């Protein structure tokens, strides 16, 4: 199977008051940290976001084809530019995601065959689906395009239309995202939270 990975960095970061993707993390930025973890599961990694902001990190960068529609637009762009059968999609603002999760998503997807499943989505121990850290088959593109055309932008609503396989048992903190300066300060104090 052919795989690609995409880091979604197209958000406005309105509640953070600065670009979340560029927050310092380890030896670089949050975007770079997430991309490095993703690259351990797939060789081909790209960024969906502003090329002027993110091209300096050395990954291919694609602007949203349909801007202003949230993460579903990033997923749409990834599925349009990819040449891969399966695509790992992850938001740039999840500092706790790690390569074992991406590898588990890949392994689970490789056990199912489209059209049996169009996506593999983690289901946290708290029972929450995590569509912004999931594997999507290329066959999802028509459903994603239709949702955009009909202005249905919620990712969790999209999952109800797709044939999804769940990947169970991941602790909720793995999927916590950073949205505000307070959350960022809290995470820096204790990255295990």
Could you report the per-residue pLDDT of 151-186, keeping only the tens digit for each? 999 999 999 999 899 999 888 888 988 888 898 888
Average pLDDT over residues 16-24: 88
Q: Would you state the pLDDT for residue 114? A: 54
Say which CATH topology domain 3-189 has. Answer: Spore Coat Polysaccharide Biosynthesis Protein SpsA; Chain A (3.90.550)
Count of residues in the chain:
193
Q: HEC profile for 110-157?
A: HHCCCCCCCEEEEEECCCCECCCEEEEEHHHHHHHHHHHHCCCCCHHH
pTM for the full predicted model = 0.93
* Residue extents of the structural domains in the chain: 3-189
In sequence order, the β-bridge partners of residue 28 are 25
């Amino acid at each position: 199977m052919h795989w690609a990975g995409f880091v979604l960095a197209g958000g406005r970061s309105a509640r953070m008051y600065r670009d979340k993707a560029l927050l310092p993390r380890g030896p670089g930025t949050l975007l770079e940290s997430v991309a490095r973890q993703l690259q351990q599961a797939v060789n081909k990694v790209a960024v969906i976001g502003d090329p002027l902001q993110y091209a300096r990190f050395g990954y291919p960068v694609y602007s949203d084809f349909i801007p202003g529609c949230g993460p579903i637009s990033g997923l749409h762009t990834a599925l349009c530019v990819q040449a891969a059968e399966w695509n790992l999609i992850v938001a740039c603002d999840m500092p706790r995601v790690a390569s074992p999760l991406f590898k588990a998503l890949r392994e689970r997807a490789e056990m199912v065959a489209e059209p049996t499943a169009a996506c593999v989505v983690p289901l946290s121990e708290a029972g929450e689906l995590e569509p912004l850290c999931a594997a999507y088959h290329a066959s999802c593109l028509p459903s994603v395009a239709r949702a955009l055309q009909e202005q249905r932008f919620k990712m969790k609503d999209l999952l109800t239309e797709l044939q999804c396989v769940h990947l169970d048992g991941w602790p909720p903190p793995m999927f916590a995202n950073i949205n505000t300066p307070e959350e960022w300060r809290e995470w820096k104090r204790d990255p295990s939270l």
